[in-house]
Amino acid sequence: MENEGIETLGARDARWLGEYSQVHMNVFGTPLRVMDHGKGTRIWDVDGNEYLDFLAGIAVNSLGYAHPEWVRAVAEQAAKVAHTSNYFATEPQIELARKLVDIAGAGPGSHVYFGNSGAEGNEAALKLARLYGRTLPNSSAQFGGKPARILSLKNGFHGRTMGALSATWKPSIRTPFEPMLPAFEFVDPRNPTGLSDAFARTGQGPYGEGPVAAVIMELIQGEAGVRPLGPDYVRSVRALCDTHHALLIIDEVQTGIGRTGSWFGFQREELSGGVRPDIVTFAKGVAGGFPMGGMIAFGQRLSSLFTPGSHGSTFAGNPLGAAASLATLGVIEREGLMRNAHDRGEQLRRGIMAVGNPLFVSVRGCGLLDAAELSHPCAHAAMTWALEHGLIVNAVAPDALRMAPPLIVSEQDVDEALGILGAIPGDLPDD
Ligand SMILES: Cc1ncc(COP(=O)(O)O)c(C=O)c1O
């Protein structure tokens, strides 16, 4: 690592950032740096400063930057056909859908819908759940029923579009856009009877509510600070869904595609308690940096609720994204990157507690989706200090730093990151 300390913005960075704010809507605040190029786990800004990237575009760049196989796959596909519309199909798109059904172990009759982002994967799942809800007893207005409800969890995050936002907890990002979609409700996972109470409200008469069509949830609440729900809770959700014929939608936008050490988080006993979803949504790491998302519906019956015209998007199943994704999945599989995610995650979590920095009071996460809990709410100051010393991490909560490095991260990279994390001053001021 060449950076001894990148204390101030370089001249080119400063110039571009000035221009950025003049032409971009201010939804992201001022970016930290203007980036130029990357290689493996490293990225360089326009002033030539090097950073070890332990965020990977927020759990997106599974293979790091400019992986030769990924670059080749995208370039070759670009030279063949970059886009067709859904009046036509392409080989990579079909191959990828087959591969995703396989790695999810979704079973015969399962089908994939492709979109372009995590929010779109969840929109598709929520629309499918609405159709499913109409098949439930007591949901038909014609017979005095009420619309089927969709339950999501306090502190959950599912995206910024109006449907996904209706299932997203954080009031500061949701309430300015109210009214949200009807028949969405939140349940607090820390309340042991919260979910069963919500199911129990189903009933006829003036006070009875519609049946529950679906519960949507993450296994690790990523944006809430990398907080695993725990296998017992996930099992109890599955049991209630089974009893009441509701769907379980597991949002694996952040946890999916090898990040936790398995293809999907639900395949890890310690996260899911062995529970299988009815729908799994994916995005972020699936195409290693190419925008892609979607959902897998488990089984024929559920999948066939979508018929021509039910849903769609111009770019759905885009061949460039599909080629990028096939290359990403191929490298993850061949190079044993799920094993690496597991091993490097253990090294990172153990290392954070061993560096002897009083700033770190605990660590949580699974595989390469981790957070260090801080002794006081100085996450922004800690993130900035790390950045200025050549390490990218993320202030995911006022008192937590999130780490989600590329799945290719090496033992030496983790040691280097630990060196920087260990040196963050313990007496940084609160943000
Ligand atoms: C669990 C989860 N679901 C959905 C989303 C939304 O994904 P996107 O930003 O690609 O729309 C995110 C993004 O952080 C996420 O973490």
pLDDT tens string 320-368: 999 999 999 999 999 999 999 999 999 999 999 999 999 999 999 999 9
> Residue 212 pairs with which residues in a beta bridge?
149
What total of structural domains would you count in the chain? 2
Question: Looking at residue 140, what is its pLDDT?
Answer: 73
Say yes or no to pLDDT of 3 above 80: no
Instruction: Give distance in angstroms: CA of 158 to centre of ligand 1.
Output: 5
**Cβ-based neighbours of 202, under 8 Å, separated by 6 or more:** 138, 208, 209, 210, 211, 212, 244
Residue 97 and residue 203 share a domain: yes
Say yes or no to pLDDT of 4 above 60: no
Instruction: Give distance in angstroms: CA of 260 to centre of ligand 1.
Output: 16
In a domain, 1, yes or no: no
Residue 241 and residue 92 share a domain: yes
- The CATH code of the domain that includes 38 is 3.90.1150.10
> How is residue 391 written in tokens?
């390490």
The residue length of the chain stands at: 431
What average pLDDT does range 375-389 have in this prediction?
97
Say yes or no to pLDDT of 423 above 50: yes
At 68, which helix (H) or strand (E)? helix 68-80
> How is residue 315 written in tokens?
């770019």
The pick from 114, 120, 157, 229 for probing ligand 1's pocket by mutation, whose C-beta has the most ligand atoms within 8 angstroms, reads 157
Q: Got the DSSP string for 14-37? A: HHHHHHHHHHS-TTS-S-S--EEE
Question: Looking at residue 178, what is its pLDDT?
Answer: 97
Residue 359 and residue 314 share a domain: no
Range of the domain at 293: 71-334
From 142-146, 170-174, 196-200, 272-276, the region with the lowest mean pLDDT: 142-146
Sheet of strand 369-374, all strands in order from the earlier edge strand to the far edge? 360-366, 369-374, 400-403, 394-397
pTM: 0.97
Measured CA to CA, the distance from residue 89 to residue 112 in angstroms comes to 14
At 359, which helix (H) or strand (E)? none
Mean predicted lDDT score pLDDT of the chain: 95
Assign 200 a pLDDT band (cuts: 50, 70, 90).
Answer: very high
Of 293, 313, 334, which residue sits at a domain end? 334
Protein residues whose CB sits closer than 6 Å to any atom of ligand 1: 117-119, 122, 157-159, 218, 222-223, 251, 253-254, 283, 293
How many separate helices (H) and strands (E) can be counted in the chain?
A: 15, 17
Label the pairing between strands 220-221 and 227-228. Answer: antiparallel
Of 274, 302, 334, which residue sits at a domain end? 334
Measured CA to CA, the distance from residue 359 to residue 329 in angstroms comes to 37
Residue 345 and residue 330 share a domain: no
Question: Looking at residue 87, what is its pLDDT?
Answer: 96
Is there a contact between 12 and 47 (Cβ–Cβ < 8 Å)? yes
